[in-house]
Amino acid sequence: MNNLNIKTLYFLILTTISVSLSAQEGTVTVNQPDAINKLLEFKKDVKTVETFKIQVYSGDSSFRAEKVKSEFREKYSQWPTEMVFNTPNYKIWVGNFRDRLEADRALLRIKKNYMNAFIFQPKKD
């Protein structure tokens, strides 16, 4: 064997030995309360609740959207309101209704002041 082959062989042997020496093994133990496991099991059993909302405004002005939101809160404080930005429009969404009937009842009252209001189901992410 020539000198270059011997050096290459030694290099490979030393590299193999150093890699095998640096390998590590370990175990991870996660300690969590039993309540977490119960909660996870409960969550599996609960079906996703579909909710309905009412949109009372859609437009490209954030100032106008904030104004509509504020006016709505003054007239109908019983329902939560939120401003959502979906490019390029700001939207004011109202309520978190459990079923369509509940949303329909609210819409009848809301339409007195917001004629273009309508019911929709938000998309799940």
Region of residue 45 (phi > 0: left; psi between -120 and 50: alpha; otherwise: beta): alpha
Q: What is the C-alpha separation between 81 and 75, in angstroms, rounded?
A: 12
pLDDT tens digits, residue range 66-107? 999 999 999 999 999 999 999 899 999 999 999 999 999 999
Model confidence at 36: pLDDT above 60: yes
**Cis ω on the peptide bond leading into residue 33 (within 30° of 0)?**
no
Output the CATH code of domain 52-120.
Answer: 3.30.70.1070
Kindly list the distances between the CA atom of residue 59 and the CA atoms of 3, 92, 107, 116, 117, in Å, as whole numbers in the listed order.
80, 9, 20, 12, 13
Query: Exposed e or buried b for every residue in 100-125, given b needs 16+ CB within 10 A?
Result: eeebeebbeebeeebeebebeeeeee
Which helix (DSSP H) or strand (DSSP E) does residue 99 occupy? Answer: none
pTM of structure: 0.61
Domain spans, the chain? 52-120
Return the amino acid letter for 48.
Answer: T
Distance CA 124, CA 47 (A): 13
Are 54 and 62 in contact by the 8 Å Cβ rule? The answer is: no
- Residue 4 banded pLDDT, cuts 50, 70, 90: low
